[in-house]
């Protein structure tokens, strides 16, 4: 058993030595395939982050009358927080609303002078409400209009922003669907290219396989060198792909963060390093070994 294993290892390295060009070509193809699959893994997370970023910008505001008691507004907030359709409710007091308004328009002297002339805070307290789905905002608005605290509500801005909210959710849904289709197609293409490259490479060993069969070698002994060779190619490809992937994440991180605020690509790489290494190693070994097994099976049946 041990002797056979040593022979398999020796034959594997002999095959690699005799066909260096084919070995490195196969490894290069696997590197491309593994890098692409790893990139699609990150693209999925990037897309999810982008979609969540879009959804986080969508909300409705409930403005209360100027003299509404703060304790009544807090009660309204607590009641809304218990509704399953509502993801988040935040309270903005009159003072906070004024500070936000001043900060936003601090470079506009006309607005700031007008505010000083008024002499008092003209802004009302309000609640910002985020729902899980776009369709739920209308239900929430109807609930607010018929709620026990409707008497202190001055305005709900859902109906003014209805088209914008629906468009943003539609965009986020489209992004998710397109990314899923692209990932599925690209993954299949990467696997097919790597699979066919390995199969074509085994054609060069057709004569050697025939000779080994004639001298009575077992099927597993014939398969052994190709499995080991595929494993070596897959491991090497995974290592090269990891290095390229790390450099790519480091270089692209600032640009990606501009596109999707809060998503640091290199930090994502570091925090998911074990998953990425496992994914790349699994894909590399699969693309190196499985095509070899399928390709050589044809010659073992002859």
Residues 175 and 286 occupy one common structural domain = yes
- Specify the pLDDT at position 240: 92
Helices 20-56 and 158-203, packing angle to 10 deg: 170
- Specify the pLDDT at position 85: 82
pTM of the predicted structure, to 2 decimals: 0.61
Residues 287 and 214 occupy one common structural domain = yes
- Specify the pLDDT at position 291: 76
Mean pLDDT by 10 residues, the chain (302 residues): 66 71 79 81 75 70 84 86 85 84 78 75 83 78 81 77 66 70 72 70 66 67 76 88 89 78 80 88 84 70 56
Q: At a CB cut-off of 8 Å and minimum separation 6, what does 104 contact? A: none
Tell me the torsion sign for CA atoms 139, 142, 146, 152.
Answer: positive
Last residue of a domain, one of 149, 165, 181: 165
Give the domain range for residue 157: 58-165
DSSP 8-state assignment for residue 120: S
Residues 204 and 267 occupy one common structural domain = yes
Domain count, the chain: 2
In whole angstroms, give the CA distance from residue 165 to residue 35.
37
Residues 36 and 120 occupy one common structural domain = no
Residues 128 and 223 occupy one common structural domain = no
Residues 174 and 296 occupy one common structural domain = yes
In sequence order, what E strands does the chain have? 60-64, 86-92, 126-131, 153-156
Residues 189 and 288 occupy one common structural domain = yes
Last residue of a domain, one of 111, 136, 165: 165
- Specify the pLDDT at position 266: 84
In whole angstroms, give the CA distance from residue 68 to residue 65.
5
In whole angstroms, give the CA distance from residue 87 to residue 243.
40
Give residue for tokens 């936003």. 104
The CATH number for 86's domain is 3.30.70.3040
Residues 186 and 293 occupy one common structural domain = yes
């Amino acid at each position: 058993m041990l002797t056979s294993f040593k022979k398999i290892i020796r034959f594997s390295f002999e095959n690699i030595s005799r066909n260096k060009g084919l070995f490195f070509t196969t490894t290069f193809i696997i590197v491309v395939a593994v890098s692409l699959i790893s990139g699609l893994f990150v693209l999925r997370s990037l897309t999810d982050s982008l979609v969540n970023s879009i959804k986080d910008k969508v909300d409705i505001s409930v403005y209360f009358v100027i003299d509404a008691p703060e304790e009544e507004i807090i009660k309204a907030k607590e009641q809304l927080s218990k509704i399953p359709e509502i993801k988040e409710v935040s309270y903005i007091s009159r003072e906070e609303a004024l500070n936000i308004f001043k900060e936003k328009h601090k470079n506009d002297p006309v607005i700031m002078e007008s505010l000083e002339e008024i002499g008092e805070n003209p802004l009302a307290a309000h609640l910002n409400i985020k729902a899980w789905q776009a369709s739920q905002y209308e239900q929430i608005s109807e609930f607010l209009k018929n709620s026990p605290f409707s008497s202190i509500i001055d305005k709900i801005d859902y109906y003014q922003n209805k088209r914008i909210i629906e468009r943003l959710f539609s965009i986020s849904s489209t992004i998710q669907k397109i990314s899923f289709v692209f990932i599925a197609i690209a993954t299949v293409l990467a696997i097919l290219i790597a699979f066919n490259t390995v199969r074509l490479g085994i054609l060069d060993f057709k004569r050697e396989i025939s000779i080994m069969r004639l001298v009575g070698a077992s099927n597993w002994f014939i398969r052994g060198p190709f499995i080991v060779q595929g494993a070596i190619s897959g491991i090497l490809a995974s290592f090269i792909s990891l290095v390229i992937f790390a450099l790519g994440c480091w270089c692209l991180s600032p640009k990606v963060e501009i596109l999707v605020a809060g998503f640091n690509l290199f930090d994502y790489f570091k925090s998911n390093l074990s998953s990425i290494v496992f994914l790349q190693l699994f894909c590399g070994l699969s693309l190196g070994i499985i095509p070899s097994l399928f390709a050589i099976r044809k010659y073992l049946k002859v």
